[in-house]
Structure 1
Amino acid sequence: MTQDAGADAGKAAEVTYATIRRQILSGERASGEWLREGDLAAVIGVSRTPVREALRRLAAEGLVRHEPNRGVQVEDWGVADLDEIFSLRSQLEPWGCGLAATTGLADLDTLGRLADRMDEEARRDPPDLDAITELNNAFHRGVLEASGNGRLVGLVSSVVEVPLVWRTFSHYSPEAMRRSLAHHHEIVQALAAGDAEWAESVMRSHVRAAWVSLRDEHPVAGQPRIEPPGRP
């Protein structure tokens, strides 16, 4: 294989992985949907090889699952699954936020702008939930990167970057949305003050409040499954 051919193959694999992953995260590929290699290859415009590799990577991330003798299916998440995810987040993210208050690595200007932009998107009628989600992800990642613990960033990403993050805001009441946005600004203030306890406390409240917004709609564990919302 030539170097150029290898580069093209690598690019096709990355494009295929990113495309399928985005479709799952956005809800375009619904929970429980069967993913056929041939259909995906035809739609994306690649051979089956990069599709097969992409599905392996997505299975390792927990976004799809292989069913023996049946194929690959988009994973679905019940209330019990989400409880586990938020339990992990409520331990890891507050700790990371507390670290970020002491390292001096936080880009306060960038975090402040992200918080302001979320406010702007929330004021739209209707709010642009996709834009808010992307900005929110960037904010949380920025806080974790400021912790100085690279392994923590990867660990949290592995449990946060699932369809959950695309669904959370669709379950928020106006009051819950206002509270969430206010938390972002308070987190920036705590980081600016270098107060680890304050930063950790706000982040823990932020994560737990997000979970309550989801849990209140589905109070019985395991019933029903939380499905992707319609596009706003």
Structure 2
Amino acid sequence: MIFRVVCNNKKGLAVSDSLSRRPARTPQSPLAAKASVAFASLKRDIMLGELRAGEPLTELDLAARFQCSQGTVREALLQLQEEGLVRRQGHRGTQVSACTVDEAVEMFRVRQQIECNGMARVMRHKSRSLIPDLQDMAEDMIDAATADDELQLAAIDRDFHRRIFRDADLPALDPILHRCLVHNHRFKISRSIGTRDLMATALRHRVIIEAIGEGDMAAATQTLHHHIATIVDFGPTLFPDAEQ
């Protein structure tokens, strides 16, 4: 089931993960609508670093902020917990999770293994809609880059990689990949706001589409490996064989 989470960033553009792992309640449910608003707003603040690691998030305060019940806030916090953006620790309450270099390195390594191992299956079972879907997302990334909207670009980027992996037909691994992608982008955004070339980031996805379209499994896997390995320059210890 597709669930689109939408919020407004500072530039007024929508931010979404249209392939969210968590199934939506019925669209008519007021609880689901309010929980989506709270989830999207809090996710935006965490991704942009406006809510810092360790900052407490109390249900009572958030219910007042979003003018909703504590049950609605709890639903939003559970979604954030699933994405690894908050930690809920019983009597200690809920806090924004850390975004450390050590975790980022491991998340990149797990992501690389999942995606690159999945590429062989993608190339054997590639759906007819894969390339058109990826081309549409690549254009959307260019639009986000033109608007200087890093958060929206990252959201579409996640959709792009999860769309590729969907053709691998390994749905049990998608939640793990999704969390890796969210953490990767949070780490990268936290260290690059105002300094990253967003258009270059958007355009570098084209080579992945070309490699998949050419049908060469080895080349497509290597292209994806290089793409992931060069997202952030951690130095030679992360992926020693990658060209930095």
Cα 1:145/1:60, change in 2 over 3 Å? closer
- 1:73 aligned residue (57, 74, 95): 95
CA deviation vs aligned residue, 1:71-103 (integer Å, no higher than 9, x gap)? 221001111010110010111112223322221
C-alpha distance 118-62 of structure 1, shift in aligned 2 (>3 A): closer
CA distance in 1, matches of 2:100, 2:111: 17
Deviation, 1:66, is 3.2
Distance across 2 between alignment mates of 1:28 and 1:66: 19
Cα deviation 1:92-120 (Å, max 9, x = unaligned):
11222332222121521221232234335
Contact kept in structure 1, 2:153 and 2:202, CA below 8 Å: no
How far off its partner does 1:187 sit? 1.1
CA contact (8 A) 1:34 1:72 kept: yes
The equivalences for 1:69-218 within 5 A come to 69-105=91-127, 106-123=129-146, 127-162=148-183, 164-168=184-188, 171=192, 173-174=196-197, 178=200, 180-212=201-233, 215=234
Matches of 1:83 and 1:99, distance apart in 2: 25
Q: Distance in 2 between matches of 1:181 and 1:202?
A: 15
Bigger radius of gyration among the two: 1
CA 1:72 to 1:112, structure 2 compared with 1: closer, same or farther past 3 Å?
same
Give the alignment's TM-score, normalised by structure 2. Answer: 0.71
Gaps in structure 2 of 5+ consecutive residues: 1-27, 237-244
8 Å contact kept, 1:21–1:58: yes
1:62 aligns with 2:84: yes
Per-residue CA distance 1:99-149 (angstroms, 9 max, x = gap): 22221215212212322343354355xx32123222212211211112222
Give, in angstroms, the shift of residue 25 of structure 1.
Answer: 3.2
> Residue 191 of structure 1 aligns to which amino acid in structure 2?
I
Q: CA deviation at 1:156?
A: 0.5
Describe the shift of the 1:49–1:117 C-alpha distance in structure 2 as closer, same or farther (beyond 3 A). Answer: closer
Q: Secondary structure at the match of 1:210?
A: coil
Counterpart residue identity of residue 129, structure 1: E
Larger relative contact order, structure 1 or 2 (CA cutoff 8 Å, min sep 6): 1
* 1:173–1:66 Cα change, 3 Å: closer
Distance 2:188 2:38 in 1: 26
Q: Which consecutive unaligned segments of at least 5 residues does structure 1 have? A: 1-5, 220-232
- Alignment CA distance shift 1:50-1:184 (3 Å): same
Question: What's the CA shift for 1:10?
Answer: 4.9
- Do the aligned partners of 1:101 and 1:190 also contact (CA within 8 Å) in 2? no
- Alpha-carbon spacing, 1:39–1:205, altered in 2? closer, same or farther (3 Å): same
Q: 1:98 to 1:184 in 2, by over 3 A?
A: farther
Provide the rounded CA distance (Å) in 1 between the counterparts of 2:83 and 2:144.
30
Partner of 1:34: 56
Letter in 2 for 1:37: E
Judged with a 3 Å threshold, the aligned counterparts in structure 2 of structure 1 residues 189 and 29 are, in CA distance, closer, same or farther, namely same
Equivalent pair of 1:98/1:200 in contact (CA under 8 Å):
yes
Q: Tell me the distance in 2 between the aligned counterparts of 1:54 and 1:173.
A: 30
Q: Which has the higher helix share?
A: 1
Q: Does the aligned pair in 2 maintain the 1:144–1:152 contact within 8 Å?
A: no
Scaled by the length of structure 1, the TM-score of the pair is 0.74
